[in-house]
Amino acid sequence: MSPERLSRRRFLGGLAAGSGLLLAVPLLNACGGGATAPTAAPTASGQAAAPTAAPTGTAGGSPTAAPTATAATVTPVATGRPTGQTVKLTNVENDSRPLDNKAYENVYKAFREKHPNIEIEFQILPWEQAEAKERTMAEAGTLPDMGRANFAASLVKLDAMVPLDDLATSDYLARYPKSWIDDLYFEGPDKQRHLYAVAWFAGDKAILINKTFFDEAGLTRPASWTTDEFVEAAKKLTIPNKRWGVTIDAAGIGDPWQNFWLCVRAFGGGFVKGRASDSKSPEPVTINSPEFIKGATWWRDLYKNGYAVPSAPTDTYKERDANFMSGKAAMMWQGPWSLIDQRETLKKQGWELAALPLPKGPAGNPQSSGLAGLAGIFSTARKRGVVQEAWQWVSFLCSDEGQKIYSGTNGMLPASQALWKDPQFANDPIYSGYLEGFQNGDRDYPIWAVGVQSVFDQKGVPMMQGLLLNQLTPEQMAQQLQDEVIRFLENNGIKVPRG
């Protein structure tokens, strides 16, 4: 089905109505071409699946100054087109928030100044249906040329993505923390590891707070705090039937499970014994553990004791954010998504936004691996002979120049280590909790557990709802979830040892 072209008003209205259609948005005039600025852009996403081993030939150690997209090595691709001929590409995204639209527009304008012969049409495929729809499009050969690649693990299995090994240089990759680079590699159809994605923004989690509410409740903003202190703050911030201490989301995909998993990990729970980043081959799964049960119980009790917004069982990230922005809740787990927009929205209501680090449990406050916005090239570009042009866009978006424009516009955090030291990010206190978190990150799941995030989204999130509604105990959840995970892995050819 051809994407429907929409005016901006109809486009936004379609999203509000929850349309499952693939929406095409024509771009505004930008620098010497008839293309137009996009009206949609990405937000947080889930963690990418990873390779079976660390990539070879990548630079490690301290960050280096990254080349811009035009400095990255690009292997010429024969196209058979006259030099200077206009090339039209299609890019897909999975989500949109208002200020992200402006961020994408600004990046695209800068890109067009360097590449006036490349025009891009942007499409939106709603996040909740994106993975399934992209798989269907891959099987039908109707994927766009390039775009958001957070579902690369699924698409690579269908030979629907183009390896970037000969396009991205080691210097280009060295801008990311060494431990993050694994998340850009996947096992291809040839059973070899290949680079299939690069990143333009990063993400971990912090606790966003309404500092005005904190001040009114006589609470100070701590440099660090414990899970017990978090609960006490939530209690003090709760005004019965008017305001709640925290807003949590237990519906949808991505964010609900990621935030829940952080609570589990703070109490020592995890996918395997020890750090997931250190697990390179299948070993016993340890979800069914006393530590998982303690973390799940702590999370559930925020709701059970009346400190979390009552609608939590059916709230997605959208309702969670709305609860916080409207003053219905004083705290929320949140990634560095559109922080500038959120700060300005609270400011208009006379409130001040601040960020705190995650509360420390018995196992500290471990973070997730920091890559969030992954971009890649789909097999359609290979069939059309436009891989080189698609790489020009992907590499520019993920260059330091592109990242700074994008993140500087909407308040996200760039994926390049060099930019973390830029005063624009380093000197703004709203980013401090996030930048600190990058230092103690670990993978959520081992590299061998490819695709397991889908189990947590499809099976784990309903179990979270069951916890909140007293339909499931933490002990039952731990056992049932472990069984689901092992069943999924073994159905996909991964033999899991029993402990």
Q: How far is it, in rounded angstroms, from Cα 149 to Cα 189?
A: 17
pLDDT tens per residue, range 381-427: 999 999 999 999 999 999 999 999 999 888 888 999 999 999 988 88
CB burial readout 224-235, b (16+ within 10 A) else e = ebebeebbebbe
Tell which of 400, 427, 454 closes a domain: 427
Indicate if the pLDDT at residue 143 is higher than 80.
yes
* Phi/psi of residue 496, nearest 5 degrees: -100, 120
Q: How far is CA 156 from each of CA 57, 151, 189, rounded to the nearest angstrom?
A: 21, 9, 7
Tell which of 383, 398, 427 closes a domain: 427
Two tokens, residue 146: 């390039």
Do residue 280 and residue 295 come from a single domain?
Answer: yes
Identify the pLDDT of residue 37: 33
Residue 329 pLDDT level (bands cut at 50, 70, 90): very high
Do residue 161 and residue 240 come from a single domain?
Answer: no
Across the beta sheet with 331-334, the strand order is 331-334, 206-210, 353-356
Do residue 184 and residue 85 come from a single domain?
Answer: yes
Q: How far is it, in rounded angstroms, from Cα 423 to Cα 404?
A: 11
Q: Tell me if 497 is assigned to some domain.
A: no
Q: Which residues lie closer than 8 Å to 423 by C-beta, 6 or more apart? A: none
Over range 368-373, report the average pLDDT: 77
Indicate if the pLDDT at residue 359 is higher than 90.
yes
Least confident among 265-279, 294-308, 431-445: 431-445
Q: Tell me if 56 is assigned to some domain.
A: yes
Do residues 152 and 197 lie in contact, with contact meaning Cβ atoms separated by under 8 Å? yes
The pTM assigned to this predicted structure is 0.73
Per the structure, how many domains does the chain have? 2
Identify the pLDDT of residue 260: 97
Q: Tell me if 323 is assigned to some domain.
A: yes
Q: Which residues lie closer than 8 Å to 147 by C-beta, 6 or more apart? A: 90, 91, 92, 93, 123, 375, 376, 378
Q: Tell me if 287 is assigned to some domain.
A: yes
Do residue 246 and residue 388 come from a single domain?
Answer: no
Do residue 251 and residue 388 come from a single domain?
Answer: no
Amino acid (one-letter) located at 396: F
Do residue 65 and residue 89 come from a single domain?
Answer: yes
Q: Which residues lie closer than 8 Å to 109 by C-beta, 6 or more apart? A: 30, 31, 37
Do residue 417 and residue 486 come from a single domain?
Answer: no
**258 or 77, greater pLDDT:** 258
pLDDT tens per residue, range 466-483: 999 999 999 999 999 999
Amino acid (one-letter) located at 275: R
Q: How far is it, in rounded angstroms, from Cα 130 to Cα 123?
A: 12
Do residue 108 and residue 181 come from a single domain?
Answer: yes
pLDDT tens per residue, range 297-313: 999 999 999 999 999 99
Q: Tell me if 499 is assigned to some domain.
A: no
Identify the pLDDT of residue 308: 98
* Phi/psi of residue 393, nearest 5 degrees: -70, -50
Two tokens, residue 153: 């693990």
Q: How far is it, in rounded angstroms, from Cα 95 to Cα 72?
A: 28
Do residue 364 and residue 385 come from a single domain?
Answer: no
Residue 441 pLDDT level (bands cut at 50, 70, 90): confident
Residue 48 pLDDT level (bands cut at 50, 70, 90): very low
Over range 195-209, report the average pLDDT: 92
Do residues 406 and 103 lie in contact, with contact meaning Cβ atoms separated by under 8 Å? yes
Q: Tell me if 434 is assigned to some domain.
A: no
Identify the pLDDT of residue 81: 58
Identify the pLDDT of residue 153: 85
Mean of the per-residue pLDDT values of the chain: 82
Per the structure, the complete domain to which residue 347 belongs is given by 206-368+445-491
Do residues 315 and 247 lie in contact, with contact meaning Cβ atoms separated by under 8 Å? yes
Neighbours of 16 (CB within 10 A): 8
Q: Tell me if 118 is assigned to some domain.
A: yes
Over range 57-79, report the average pLDDT: 35
Indicate if the pLDDT at residue 242 is higher than 50.
yes
Do residue 281 and residue 414 come from a single domain?
Answer: no
Identify the pLDDT of residue 50: 33
Indicate if the pLDDT at residue 323 is higher than 80.
yes
Do residue 270 and residue 353 come from a single domain?
Answer: yes
Residue 68, domain CATH: 3.40.190.10
Q: Tell me if 394 is assigned to some domain.
A: yes
Do residue 325 and residue 382 come from a single domain?
Answer: no
Strand-pairing partners, residue 193, are 187
Identify the pLDDT of residue 98: 65
Residue 369 pLDDT level (bands cut at 50, 70, 90): low
Identify the pLDDT of residue 102: 82
